[in-house]
Each structure stands twice: as structure tokens, then as C-alpha cells.
Structure 1
Amino acid sequence: MTHSIVISEFMDEAAVETLRAAHPTLYDPSLAEAPERLAAALAGARALIVRNRTRVDGALLAHGPELAVVGRLGVGLDNIDLAACRARRVEVIPATGANADSVAEYVILATGLLLRGTFGATAEVAAGAWPRERLAQGREMAGKTIGIVGFGDIGRRVAKLARAFGMAPIAHDPVLPTDHSGWTETPVERVELEALFARADAVTLHVPLTPATEGLVSAARLARMKPGAVLVNTSRGGVVDEAALAASLREGRLGGAALDVFETEPLPAGTPLAGVPNLLLTPHIAGLTVESNTRVSTLIAERVLMALAMA
């Protein structure tokens, strides 16, 4: 059977049913790990909906000669060859803004967790230990400076939440025009990148992976950070030099780090991040909550249907 819409990764069931009501739809989240089956499923398909595990490149597009639209259940587009899509006149639709609150909340919660440093003692306390003196060295968020690298929608939401906790946000974004309203909607000090790394008690990354941002958090920039400062990365793994970060944490220079994204996902055997102290690792989940999945899926279903109606 030929399907007009193919969904290769998980999507909210209600949104899938909305699509099924309008067009023959194949929903099979296992297709992301089965490229041959996915290629076969695209014969006759007009729309493909993916998350971040499906690689949409020229080779895959060739198997879907009738494709008109690719819906992305998220905002990052580095798994989609935009040039190949343009050449084929395939519209690419990201779920811009739909998961921004989820990411911003993750950043603030991780920042507080890393600064306080007291929430990893459950097993000790349950076993009768009382590490009160050691854990009394935790720090408050209030009065700290948070450096936001990338001041788009998510970065601005992080700044608003950070101010609610008494933090002072500083930001760097060479792409956002200086007269953009985002700089004034949320009071923030605009600074150069090197100054941000030197001044911030917490640094959070919100940039795409491009030649300009690859390896942006290098050993040299990590060395510029304050002793005890913390780092949160919910953008893309290649932005951070993982080996350099692991070394800095092992040496005790940084106070901690939270990584939700990695150079290779899932992490390969022998990763330098294994067993590193004061490091929180999560599986590319910052933007995914029950609520955000509903918003993202609903938005993409609506926009894909609109694109197909206009194609």
C-alpha cells in the first residue's frame, strides 16, 4: 500500500490520527533505524515526518520522488540536508518554538542542580551516613551571572527564568542584529564571547552546529571559565570538546556540567565522558516533555497538512 505521509519517529498519537484522517499515513517509529525499509516506504509519499535520528539527505530523497514536505518534530536541522531539499523543492518545516519552554526549564533546573551540588547523596543518607558538612558547600543561583551563548527564542526564555531566580544574564549572539527587539524585551547585557566565558558562573549553549560553532567550547575557552563555574549544553554535541570538558572536570577546575547532546549519539564505547565527576548526562531529552510532545506534534501535523493542501 502506498502512503501519502510517512512518520519515521515517535509522534503524539492524537496528531498521528489527525494526519490519518486526511491522508493514508504510515506511522512506524522503528523506520529511523531501518533505512532500507524507510526508503521503500517513501515510494509515492508526499510528506515525511522525522525527529533527529532520521538522516534526510539526497540519497533518501531520491526514493521519494513525490515528496513535497519534510516535517521536523523539533527545531534542529543538522540531520536534514537543506541544500538537497531545496534542489528538490521539498519544503522543510521545523516545530519552531513548540519545545522552547521545555529546554529553558531544563537549563535552569540543571544550573541549580549543579551549583547546589547536594542532590546526589540519597544512597549515602539512606545507608545512615550524614554528609552534611561536605554538602554545605552548595551555592545559590541568586546573585550569580549566567552566560547565554545564542540569544534566540530559547536563550531569551532562559534569561527570563534566570532573572526570576535572581541571576544576572549576559549574552552573546553574533547573528542576532543589535537592533533586534529580543535584546530589550528581556534585560540582558550583550557581551563578547571571551568576556562571557570569563565572567559567567554558569554558561548555557543555544547555537546550531555550523563550521563557526563546531568546537566552540574548546580547552582554551574552558580554561577561561571561573574556577567552579558550570556548563550546560542543550544545543548540539559538536559545539563542546568532550575530551577537554572531561579533563577539566576531572581536574576539579569546573564545578560541574550537564550535557543533553553529544558528538555521537548514543555515546560510543570508550567515551571520555564515562565516570567523570560532577557530570550529568541525559539522552537528548531537554526539549521533550509530555506537554512539548503534544505541542510539537500538533504543530507539525497542522503545518504538514497545510503544505500538502498548497502543494
Structure 2
Amino acid sequence: MSERKPVVLVTAADLAPEALALLGGYEIVYAGKTPSDDDIVSLCGQHDPAAIIVRYGKVGAAAMAAAPSLRVISKHGSGTDTIDKTAAAARGIAVRAAAGANAAAVAEHALALMLACAKSVPLLDARMRAGHWDKAVHKSLELHGRTVGLVGLGAIGLRFARMADAMGMNVLGFDPYAKELPSFVQRADLDTLWKQADVISLHCPLTEENRNLLDAKTLARCKRGVIVVNTARGGLIDEAALLEAVRGGQVRAAGLDSFAVEPMLAGHPFQKESGFILSPHIGGVTSDAYVNMGLAAARNVRGVIEAR
């Protein structure tokens, strides 16, 4: 009788074929398109996975307790805030991220949101479709020569910085963990960044220390008419404070790909405000990133389970 293959639970309905090829010696179990926390716990109890590849949903202490064979939780992406790392550490379960696998995709999306905010792309498109020709009355914002402030200088933040520099923008960056920085990034503390940046773009992980980093106090310290871009985590922003700042003109526009509650619920106030450009947390969702993140997540699974 053949020995049972180790189980890898994927908290989604699919995984890139290239990643599956790397996991040929494992049994793959899918949790479905939108698994709830309870679904994940139940599947852990049924299949006792050796590894979990996290795409959607959260993996908490209850899921880990239901899977005594669990050795690694591998994120299909760079952010691990959906994994209870304290519970994992207590059980000796490794937590790995696909660092940098979606950096190009997310940085490009942040750039797209910044440009859309500065150039009023969705508003002008809607006005054109309604029969208006606003050439005589509309003025967009030129970004050349203006300053972008980046919070987080990992793979995504530095890639975005390089694109902003190529556009002729001045780049300020805050990241207490970044060591050597390229010449086109000027290191700055947060107070300097808030005061000098014409655009603020967030590229850092969410922690309890930086939750609501952008709140009423910090937004008030920013330049009037600042653009805010967030392709990181929704919890970095106090959404009520940002709403008031947009309505009052302190923030010219906000381009957001991440939100405090996801999926965004119908009737969210951002949906009715023209000063917001919204996308459903798809900055890292491209065909290339899908493969790259799947491969990195699969390699991280094998790296832990097959370590000698």
C-alpha cells in the first residue's frame, strides 16, 4: 500500500499550472473561490495538511490546531497579515511570503492610480460619455517636478520609486528597515514626508504599530491637495478621516486598491464620492504575477517540508 502524499491546502479554487508542476509529489486540496475562516478550519480538520498556501481568507489559531501535521503556511503574495504569526510561532509552523513575486504588478498599479488621480481619468471619461467637452474648464495636475513620498521601500516601493524618478519626480522614502537606498530616493522621516509630499503612496505591511497611519492628524499635516495612493493594506488608513479629507479638499484624490473590510460592502461612502478611484485589491493580479506568486509559494512549501 502506497504511502499517502502530504496534503497542500490552497485557500482558493486554483493555482498556476507551473506551481502545480512543482508540487507533483503532493495532494492538492482547494478551498474554493471565497473560503470563509470556518471553511479553512473545516478543511484542515478533514485533510490535516502539511502545508497551506494562502490566497484568500485568513489562517488563524483554530485552523492550525485542526491540522497537527501542518509545517508551513505559504502566502501567495507578499503580505502575511492574514496569517496569525504568533500562533504559528507557538506551534513551530513556518510562515513564508512570496516576497517580490508581484512587485512589478503592484508598482505598476500604484503608478496607474497616481496618474488617474492626477489626470482625473475616470471623471473625464464619464464626462465625455455624457456628451461634455471640458477642455476649456478642466486642468489636471502635472507630476514632473513634484514630490512623491513613499512609506515602505521593499521590492514594490523601490520599483515604484524608479518609475516616479523616471517621470522627473522627487522621491522621498520612509522605511526604518531599509539599509542602502538608490541615489534617486531621499530618506526622510514621516513628519518630513507628510509636509513635503504632493503624492503619498503606501507600500508597507500592516502592523499594530502602523494601523491607521494615515488618520485625521497626519492628513492635516500634509500639503493641501495631496494625492493618496494605497496598494498595500486598507488598515493603514483611517477611512472616515480620509473621506472627510477628500470632501474638504485637503486630499485632491485617493487611489485605493485596499480597504479596511474586503470585499467592500455595497453602500460604502467611497463609492459615491468622485474624489476616489477604486479597484478591488487587484494590484498584484496579473497573468505574470499569478504564475510568479504560485511558483514562489510552491517553492516555499517544498523548501520547508523537504529541508534536510
So what's the TM-score if we normalise by structure 2? Answer: 0.91
Counterpart in the other structure of 2:54: 50
Counterpart in the other structure of 1:203: 200
Counterpart among 141, 144, 153 of residue 143 in structure 2: 141
2: CA distance between counterparts of 1:306 and 1:212? Answer: 31
CA offset at residue 14 of structure 1?
0.6
Please provide the CA RMSD for this pair.
2.1
1: CA distance between counterparts of 2:40 and 2:262? Answer: 22
2: CA distance between counterparts of 1:230 and 1:31? Answer: 32
CA offset at residue 28 of structure 1?
3.6
Partner SS for 2:193: helix
1: CA distance between counterparts of 2:197 and 2:299? Answer: 41
Query: Which residue identity is paired with 1:90?
Result: I
Give the unaligned 5+ runs of structure 1. Answer: none
- Shifted more, 155-164 versus 9-18: the winner is 9-18
Counterpart in the other structure of 1:277: 274
1: CA distance between counterparts of 2:161 and 2:53? Answer: 31
CA offset at residue 255 of structure 1?
1.2
Counterpart in the other structure of 2:21: 18
Partner SS for 2:136: helix
Q: How does 1:57-96 map to 2 (within 5 A)?
A: 57-96=60-99
Q: How does 1:1-311 map to 2 (within 5 A)?
A: 4-19=7-22, 21-30=24-33, 32-33=35-36, 35-36=38-39, 38-42=41-45, 43-51=47-55, 53-135=56-138, 137-176=139-178, 180-181=179-180, 183=181, 185-269=182-266, 271-310=268-307
Matched length: 304
2: CA distance between counterparts of 1:156 and 1:97? Answer: 11
CA 1:25 to 1:31, structure 2 compared with 1: closer, same or farther past 3 Å? farther
Give the unaligned 5+ runs of structure 2. Answer: none
CA 1:197 to 1:70, structure 2 compared with 1: closer, same or farther past 3 Å? same
CA 1:293 to 1:79, structure 2 compared with 1: closer, same or farther past 3 Å? same
So what's the TM-score if we normalise by structure 1? Answer: 0.90
The runs of 4+ residues in structure 1 deviating greater than 4 Å are: none
Contact 1:68 1:89 in 2 (8 A): yes
Partner SS for 1:92: strand
User: Identity of counterpart residues, as a percentage?
Assistant: 32
- Shifted more, 262-271 versus 87-96: the winner is 262-271
- Shifted more, 149-158 versus 255-264: the winner is 149-158
